[in-house]
Chains A and B, each alone.
Chain A
Amino acid sequence: MHIYAFGSVCRGDIDSSSDIDLLAIVNGFDHRFDPQLYSIYSRRRIGEIWAEGNPFAWHLSIESRLIFSSDGSDILSSMGQPNRYTACRQDCEKFRNLFLEAQSSIREDGRTMTFDLSTTFLAIRNFATCFSLGRLETPVFSRNAALLLSERSLPISAAAYSVFERARILCTRGYGPGVSKDEAHMAMGFLSTIEKWMNGLLLEICRDDI
């Protein structure tokens, strides 16, 4: 059994809303680990994501620290760098689809408004991380990756961005003031900007692929 911390706590990029991301690498089912607190991976699956050049493998490779090892080994360090990341286009398309589903849901049914705003935040963040990993010199794994892409950063207001981010925290960690209808409406005014931003970056990826 191996336990690692990864993400913001390893970057020193923390604020009052930061949580601690934990990874458990186990052999088979281990009931001691709550999947709501840990990302739980088998050693075999870790090997697979390293071979795939998966973004999570890159994230762990660059931003993780060993906390506990039952056999004294540091599995992740011993694996070296993951393979080259080649699924940038597919992953960005996947997260654009996630965003498009949230966008149509939020427009057709208000019962999942906060969840759809939260999903939009997740799609934005993961899209930006995958784009940076596939196309930029330095990958950005921060939860604010979409704002850290220099001239390619997401062009929405700080107020709208904070509504999406707050919705994410509400849906996952269950705290913070609820999102009002006015706030949701204001943030929704940027949905087409987000779609254009994703489409523009995807076009750039497609051009590079040709």
Chain B
Amino acid sequence: MTYEFNDRMTAQRILLRVINKRAWPEEDLLGLSSKAIERWVAANRIDSKSPLVNLVSDASSKLFFLANKSQDQISEQYQMVKAELIELCGDIEHELDTLGQPVP
């Protein structure tokens, strides 16, 4: 069973809400494509090697993995990636808590 299209969009929305809880100085994260992440990192001058960026990029990779139709026969792997995505959402929330609010 593949992760359905609408479910992937909902998962993206949930992740974006978590990340954009923080008041980013220049621009919120607009999407979870690698290009959108690059834009957010550059606009807000975030360290591209920071744990937060790594976690967000990891979540992005997992979402795109779920859209990949070459592997839909490996349902166990799909379930695992879905579970990892939920876990990553918690990790991102935790990482944001440790960062606190940026200085305006």
Contacts and interface: CB of A to CB of B under 8 A. Distances in A.
Interface of A: 24, 26, 28-30, 35-36, 39-42, 44-45, 94, 97-98, 101, 105, 109, 111-112, 114-116, 118-119, 122, 167, 170-175, 178
A40 B39 contact: no
A102 to B, nearest CB: 8
A119 B9 contact: yes
Interface of B: 5-6, 9-10, 12-13, 16-17, 20-21, 27-28, 30-31, 33-39, 64-65, 67-73
Contact of B73 (A42, A97, A105, A111): A42
A175 B39 contact: yes
B39 A111 contact: no
Given A42-B72, A45-B70, A111-B28, 15 more contacts: A29-B70, A35-B64, A35-B65, A35-B68, A42-B69, A44-B73, A94-B6, A97-B6, A111-B21, A112-B17, A116-B13, A118-B30, A119-B9, A170-B31, A171-B33
Contacts of B28: 111, 114
Contacts of A41: 69-70
B10 A29 contact: no
A111 B13 CA distance: 9
Contact of B70 (A40, A94, A114): A40
A171 B17 contact: no
A101 B10 contact: yes
A174 B70 contact: no
B20 A111 contact: yes
Given A94-B6, A101-B6, A114-B28, A172 B35 contact: yes
Contacts of B70: 24, 26, 28-30, 40-42, 45
Contacts of B71: 28-29, 42
Contact of B31 (A40, A94, A111, A172): A172
Q: Which 8 A-B pairs have the closest CB atoms?
A: A171-B31, A174-B35, A174-B39, A111-B20, A35-B64, A174-B36, A41-B69, A40-B70
Nearest to B10: A101
A70 B90 CA distance: 43
A35 B33 contact: no
B22 to A, nearest CB: 10
24 contacts: A29-B70, A35-B68, A36-B33, A36-B34, A40-B70, A41-B69, A42-B70, A42-B72, A42-B73, A44-B73, A45-B69, A45-B72, A94-B5, A94-B6, A98-B6, A101-B13, A111-B21, A115-B13, A115-B30, A118-B31, A119-B9, A122-B9, A172-B36, A174-B30
Contacts of A174: 30-31, 33, 35-39
